[in-house]
Structure 1
Amino acid sequence: MMFEGHEKDLIELIKNYIACSKYWCRLLKDNFGIHDKTTLRARRMNLIPSKGALEELTFSFHGGGCYFEFEGGAIDVDFGPDDRHDGFDSQRLFDFIKSSKKDYSSFLSQEDIEKYLNLLFENKVIIKPNWYPNPHLYYLNI
Structure 2
Amino acid sequence: MSDQNETLDILINDFISMVESSTLIFERKFGTRDIRRLWRTKAIKRCGRITRGVKYELHGIGCRINLSTGSVDFDYGPNGEINGFDTWRLYNFARDRPSKHRKYCDEETIKKELEEYLKLKKIKKMSGISNLYVLVDSKETN
- TM bin (shorter chain): 0.7 to 0.9
Distance in 2 between the 1:73 and 1:25 partners? 14
* Matched letter for residue 15 of structure 2: Y
1:62-101 equivalences under 5 Å are 62-100=59-97
1:139 maps to which residue?
Answer: 134
Amino-acid identity (%): 26
Q: What do you get for the CA RMSD once the two structures are aligned? A: 2.2
Cα contact 1:128–1:137 (8 A) shared by 2: yes
Structure 1 unmatched runs, 5+ = none
TM-score, L = length of structure 2: 0.83
| Partners of 1:7 and 1:116 within 8 A in 2 | no
Question: Deviation string for 1:36-91 (max 9, x for gaps)?
Answer: xx432232122332100122211100000001111131110100032111110111
Q: Is the contact made by 2:6 and 2:103 (CA closer than 8 Å) also made in structure 1?
A: no
Q: In structure 1, what residue type is equivalent to 2:66?
A: E
Whether 1:48 and 2:44 are equivalent positions in the alignment is: yes
| Inter-partner Cα distance in structure 1 for 2:9 and 2:132 | 15
Query: Number of paired residues?
Result: 134
Residue 129 of structure 1 and its aligned partner are, at CA, apart by 3.7
Query: 1 CA distance for matches of 2:12 and 2:73?
Result: 13
Asked if 2 retains the 8 angstrom alpha-carbon contact of 1:7 and 1:120, the reply is no
Deviation at 1:8, TM superposition (A): 6.3
Task: Give the Cα separation in 1 of the matches to 2:119 and 2:21.
Answer: 29
| 1:112-123 alignment runs, 5 A limit | 112-123=109-120
Distance of 1:6 and 1:81 partners within structure 2: 35
The structure with higher relative contact order (CA 8 Å, sep 6+) is 1
Shift of 1:111: 0.8
Q: Give the TM-score of the pair, scaled to structure 1.
A: 0.83
Query: Stretches of 4+ moved more than 3 A in 1?
Result: 5-8, 129-132
